[in-house]
Amino acid sequence: MKFSDSSSPDRMGTDPLWKLLLEFSIPAIIMMVFNMLYSVVDTAFLGWALPDGSGVAVVTLAQPVMTILMAFPMLAGQGGSALGAIQLGRGDKPIVERTLGNTTFLLITMAAVVAVIAFIFIDPLLTLLATPADIWDQTRIFVQIICVGSVFQCLGMGLNNFLRVAGKPNLSLATSVLGTVMCIVFNYLLVILLGWGVAGSAIATLLGMCCGMVPVIWYFVAAKAAPFHLRLSCCRPELRLMGQICMLGLASFAMQCAQVVTSLIFNEVVTKYGAMDAIGETGALAAVGVAFRSMMVTFCPLIGITMGAQPIIGYNYGARNWQRVLDIFKMATWLGIGLGAFFFAFCHLAPEVIVSLFGLNGKLADYAANCVVIMSAFLPLVGFQIVGSNYFQASGQPIKAAVLGLTRQVLFLIPLYMFAPPIFASWFGYSELLGVVTCVPAADILSVAFTAGFVAYEVKKLRDLRDGRRTEVSRSKTGVEV
């Protein structure tokens, strides 16, 4: 078999799929872990520097804000890169530069709006976060610094998605690793050595993101070998094109926004039931927050698989190569299940090791380890759900992707948080606070069943297209499938 040039994105339509999936997914998995480490590093350094748990509580409270900040680069970045991959599959390479330019315009605009809002509405925001009075000022400082510098995160994370479309998954990984490593270095300098506390941690996070952003922009602006470039003329806003980008990024954005609402309710119920528990409010936010963040870290590699598969699915979907779409979808699904099983085993065999990374000790560490075991009950099946729901974004079906992305959190997890903790507590014979924790695996299994129905129908559709029993793919006015 004659393969395409290893530096060309066209190889996504010719090279062996397992080779492509591993080549694109492994760097994406590592990259997602390193991206999530921004939050983990903040938590860990503040846990070591402030052993009373106040620093960890601040980061737990700020998690909804950090989640919504990730939503904007996912809206424009993943939407733009998904559209760009489909355009490359159709042979429309010149328009990819316009897509890249309009994505950049969207990212900068979003970051500017976030910075303004962070100063005007900070007090109502902290109230919404259920911030206790004793850590109000610390949380205010952390949130404002992170929001003002969000342009580094928007551009770095958003445009990083296009590196995989350009056939550069390893460069995508390298920029993320650089950002996270520098975040660790700056956290050690500002938090541990200089003792700047939560302010130092927030500044260190922004400096790390800036370090990861610079090489991404340099590649698309200055690298002659890049298959498409970031040009000022292509940054002129085009409403129709930005609509396409946002439609394809809608699922990721909606999922992140739902995560924000979920985190707010999570903070409320953890604070409520923590006050009723011997562990107390701040202790509950620290211990359960660490377990919750640990689960987010395990989800990151699963999301990395979908990010690696996305340009391959999009390219071959655009090229109408249905058998390759079926094959890569199946491979990604099995890889997601296998990786979920690995993390399930790790969480159940060594939860104390995971918790120890966050600087907790004593009863808080034991409580957090127990929460990790409960929350990870259905991780293998979560791998299937994440790959299945994200497939629809990669193939240009934003409405289905958004629906599946929202089911776990909006349809299942939020109602469970609000009503189920006392029920689970009575069923399993433990406190309402652990009932909150049990809501996570309950939502997982329900969302897996819901996703399975969509996946079964999609596989049948792809087989019909492959065998000629269906000849057209319906598309909306924005140019993406509906």
Please report the DSSP string for 214-283 in residue order.
Answer: HHHHHHHHH-TT-SS---GGGGS--HHHHHHHHHHHHHHHHHHHHHHHHHHHHHHHHHHHHHTSTT-HHH
pLDDT confidence of residue 31: 73
Over residues 288-299, mean pLDDT = 79
Specify whether the CB–CB gap between 115 and 154 falls below 8 A.
Answer: no
| Segment (H or E) for 358 | none
Confidence class of residue 326 from pLDDT cuts 50, 70 and 90? Answer: very high
pLDDT confidence of residue 448: 92
> Higher pLDDT residue, 80 or 62?
80
- pLDDT tens-place string over residues 174-187: 888 898 889 889 98
- Letter for the amino acid at 298? T
d(CA 379, CA 315): 29
Over residues 247-275, mean pLDDT = 80
> Higher pLDDT residue, 105 or 420?
105
pLDDT confidence of residue 478: 42
On average, the pLDDT of the chain sits at 82
Crossing angle of helices 432-467 and 281-318, in 10° steps, is: 0
pLDDT confidence of residue 342: 92
Over residues 330-336, mean pLDDT = 91
The residue whose two tokens read 């976060």 is 129
Number of Cβ atoms within 10 Å of the Cβ of 326: 17
Over residues 414-430, mean pLDDT = 88
d(CA 43, CA 180): 14
Quick one: tokens of 24? 């694109």
Model-wide pTM > 0.85: no
d(CA 419, CA 288): 18
- pLDDT tens-place string over residues 99-155: 999 999 999 999 999 888 888 888 888 887 777 787 788 888 888 898 888 889 889
Sign of CA dihedral 234, 236, 239, 242: positive
pLDDT confidence of residue 40: 67
Confidence class of residue 481 from pLDDT cuts 50, 70 and 90? Answer: very low
Confidence class of residue 482 from pLDDT cuts 50, 70 and 90? Answer: very low
Please list the alpha-helical segments (H only) found in 77-196: 79-89, 93-120, 122-128, 136-148, 150-165, 169-187
Dihedral over alpha carbons 397, 400, 402, 406 (to 10 degrees): -160
Nearest by Cα to 408 from 425, 427, 389, 422: 389
Q: Is the pLDDT of residue 312 over 90?
A: no
pLDDT confidence of residue 472: 56
Crossing angle of helices 150-165 and 54-73, in 10° steps, is: 50
Q: Is the pLDDT of residue 1 over 70?
A: no
Quick one: tokens of 52? 């009373």
d(CA 307, CA 312): 9
Helices and strands of the chain, counted as H and E runs = 19, 0
d(CA 17, CA 325): 10
d(CA 364, CA 362): 6
Confidence class of residue 383 from pLDDT cuts 50, 70 and 90? Answer: confident
Q: Is the pLDDT of residue 330 over 80?
A: yes
Over residues 18-47, mean pLDDT = 74
Confidence class of residue 214 from pLDDT cuts 50, 70 and 90? Answer: very high
Over residues 345-367, mean pLDDT = 81
Q: Is the pLDDT of residue 33 over 80?
A: no
- pLDDT tens-place string over residues 64-105: 787 778 888 888 988 898 888 888 777 777 788 999 999 999
Q: Is the pLDDT of residue 4 over 50?
A: no
Confidence class of residue 442 from pLDDT cuts 50, 70 and 90? Answer: very high
Between 168-172, 359-363, 368-372, the lowest mean confidence (pLDDT) is in 359-363
Q: Is the pLDDT of residue 433 over 90?
A: no
For the chain, the domains span 9-467
**Dihedral-angle region of residue 230 (phi above 0 means left; psi in -120 to 50 means alpha; beta otherwise):** beta
